[in-house]
Amino acid sequence: MSYKPKVTVVGAGFVGATTAQRLIEKDIADVILIDVVEGLPQGKALDMMESAPIERFQASIKGTNQYEDTKGSDVVVITAGLARKPGMSRDDLLFKNAEIVGGVVTECVKYSPDAILLIVTNPLDVMTYLAWKKSGFPPHRVFGMAGALDSARMAYFIAEELECVPHEVDAMVLGGHGDEMVPVPAHTKVKGEPITKLLSPEKIEAINQRTRDGGAEIVKHLKTGSAFYAPSSSVVRMVNAIAEDSGEIIPSCVYLTGQYGIKDVYCGVPAQLGRKGVRAVAEISLTENEKAALRQSAEHVRENCAKLNL
Ligand code: TXD
């Protein structure tokens, strides 16, 4: 059988369980699903395994409440925490989720000192920074999922507008995962053609704004809870790049050391991912406005990180 990494998914809620399901159905990884709620991960994992004869996957999943079971994980995906309710910003979740993610990271690194930590819990950029600090890991092994999702949302909105196949659109959204995210139209392409040649500036701005509001649009519909189908697909895209050591460039929340004029903070930029984590940050050409917006977004992340006094 080909190489299958051991992936721990922490949090068996909407995003965690759907991520686990996609990982095993695509035979990407063997999964440990862990949660504080007794029975929840066990029940969901058993239910998923019982679909194996029909879905024909060979990967396995085990549900647990014990961190011992996560021992030797190659990748740990952290989705544990509270999700947004209508009217809440991602920043409102800061202190509660910091407590949860901090505790989870401490447990996980004890059993998987060589793992890659992939953070999903909001506020995403701050939680990724916190995980990096708490883990003591080198920054290339701690990064977060946000840009992959924001870019997928933007790609879908463009496909809808141009009536083309969604996967033919390759979108690029940078910056922190918040209202200050930075869609980059010149690097957003349909079969290689930038959308700046296909759509009017007004249409592009409307799509940019809908992308920024993409999470809130779903929260408004659902009323309780937030998005999880596209978020889990986005996590799986990143885990797959790691598992296959593909070197795919995916917008990710990574530690910056001067790229784009930004230093010592986590922020969303195009990152090349492989088995060891972040291989490199791709520095794409940006307009002056985009550069300024990216720096402003990074400063907002830095201010929120400071609130945690780490
Ligand atoms: O783009 C992105 N990064 C995101 C982030 C996209 C979508 C959702 N995003 C965030 O992920 C969202 O704002 C939340 O902070 C997390 C998880 O969202 P989800 O929708 O999955 O929330 P749920 O369904 O409430 O699941 C959270 C689970 C739940 O089962 C809790 O029991 C569990 O987390 N939980 C814990 N598990 C382990 N250990 C601890 N301490 C713990 N505390 C809660």
Nearest to 261 by CA among 240, 238, 291: 291
Query: Are residues 136 and 156 both part of a single domain?
Result: no
Does residue 1 sit within a domain? Answer: no
Q: Do 162 and 199 meet the contact criterion of CB atoms below 8 Å apart?
A: yes
Query: Are residues 299 and 164 both part of a single domain?
Result: yes
Query: Are residues 83 and 157 both part of a single domain?
Result: no
Which atom number of ligand 1 is nearest to the Cα of residue 103? 41
* 116 vs 309, higher pLDDT: 116
Question: By alpha-carbon position, which residue is closest to atom 13 of ligand 1?
Answer: 83
Cα 201 to Cα 186: distance, rounded to the nearest angstrom: 11
Question: By alpha-carbon position, which residue is closest to atom 38 of ligand 1?
Answer: 35
Does residue 111 sit within a domain? Answer: yes
CA 291, 296, 298, 299: dihedral to nearest 10 degrees? 140
pTM value surpassing 0.85: yes
Q: State if residue 121 touches ligand 1 by the CB under 6 angstroms criterion.
A: yes
Burial call 32-57: b when 16+ CB within 10 Å, e when fewer: bbbbeeeebbbebbeebbeeeeeeeb
Query: Are residues 203 and 130 both part of a single domain?
Result: no
Cα 63 to Cα 271: distance, rounded to the nearest angstrom: 31
Query: Are residues 189 and 93 both part of a single domain?
Result: no
Q: Is the pLDDT of residue 1 over 50?
A: no
Q: Is the pLDDT of residue 253 over 70?
A: yes
Query: Are residues 135 and 169 both part of a single domain?
Result: no
Q: State if residue 97 touches ligand 1 by the CB under 6 angstroms criterion.
A: yes
Cα 46 to Cα 49: distance, rounded to the nearest angstrom: 5
Number of domains in the chain: 2
Cα 37 to Cα 239: distance, rounded to the nearest angstrom: 25
Catalytic site residue 140?
A: no
Query: Are residues 186 and 255 both part of a single domain?
Result: yes
Query: Domain range spanning residue 168?
Result: 147-306
* Tokens (6 digits) for 134: 């708490």
What are the tens digits of pLDDT across the range 38-61? 999 999 999 999 999 999 999 999
Q: Do 108 and 70 meet the contact criterion of CB atoms below 8 Å apart?
A: yes
The mean per-residue pLDDT over the stretch 133-150 comes to 98
pLDDT score recorded for residue 90: 79
Query: Are residues 170 and 129 both part of a single domain?
Result: no
Does residue 91 sit within a domain? Answer: yes
The mean per-residue pLDDT over the stretch 170-175 comes to 98
* Gap from CA of 48 to ligand 1 centroid (Å): 19
Q: Of 144, 159, 191, which residue sits at a domain end?
A: 144
Q: Is the pLDDT of residue 2 over 90?
A: no
Q: Of 128, 144, 160, which residue sits at a domain end?
A: 144
Nearest to 283 by CA among 270, 267, 302: 270
Query: Are residues 159 and 250 both part of a single domain?
Result: yes
Per DSSP bridges, beta strands 189-190 and 169-170 are: antiparallel
What are the tens digits of pLDDT across the range 195-220? 999 999 999 999 999 999 999 999 99
Q: Of 103, 118, 144, which residue sits at a domain end?
A: 144
Quick one: angle between helices 201-212 and 147-162, nearest 10? Answer: 140
Active-site residue (options: 140, 167, 177, 300)? 177
Instruction: Tell me which residue has tokens 């991960």.
Output: 41
The mean per-residue pLDDT over the stretch 275-301 comes to 97
Does residue 247 sit within a domain? Answer: yes
The mean per-residue pLDDT over the stretch 18-27 comes to 98
CATH number at residue 47: 3.40.50.720
Cα 24 to Cα 6: distance, rounded to the nearest angstrom: 11
Phi, psi of 70 (to 5 degrees): -90, 0
What are the tens digits of pLDDT across the range 71-126? 999 999 999 998 777 887 877 889 999 999 999 999 999 999 999 999 999 999 99
Query: Are residues 157 and 139 both part of a single domain?
Result: no
Query: Are residues 13 and 137 both part of a single domain?
Result: yes
